[in-house]
Amino acid sequence: MNTVETERFRTRLVDERQRVLEAIQYLHEENPGSIQDETQENPIDNHLGETASVTLDREIDYTLEENEGRVLAAIDAALKRIEDGTFGICRTCGRPIGDERLEALPYTTQCIDCKRKEERG
């Protein structure tokens, strides 16, 4: 991969990193309290249906945050690989990852063949 291409991916990764950080920030702002705080807010109106829905929303948000956290770690690792000069190389077989795959998922660590093999087990 030439320098221009690497720089292009670096810019994309930095942009993506910013987006993920903002998403994590947003999730924190949406849910500043704990589940317990929310269920105690309206002790009279509170009934099982509402509690269940609050818990479900919260679980979805936690999953999102977990995913965003993983993406953030993957982006950081990809930026490090750009520094190391190993960006775009499959960690399993050592061959270049296809351009199309990198365009779709710039922080991926595996070529499509290795990924498919791994998914098959």
Residues contributing to the site for Zn ion (CB under 5 A): 90, 92-93, 111, 114
Contact 68, 107 (CB under 8 A): no
Closer CB to Zn ion, 58 or 101, in the complex: 101
Closer CB to Zn ion, 75 or 111, in the complex: 111
Least Å from the CB of residue 87 to Zn ion: 14
| Rounded CA separation 55/44 (Å) | 18
Strand partners, 96: 89
Closer CB to Zn ion, 58 or 115, in the complex: 115
Least Å from the CB of residue 100 to Zn ion: 15
Q: How many C-beta atoms lie closer than 10 Å to residue 68's C-beta?
A: 19
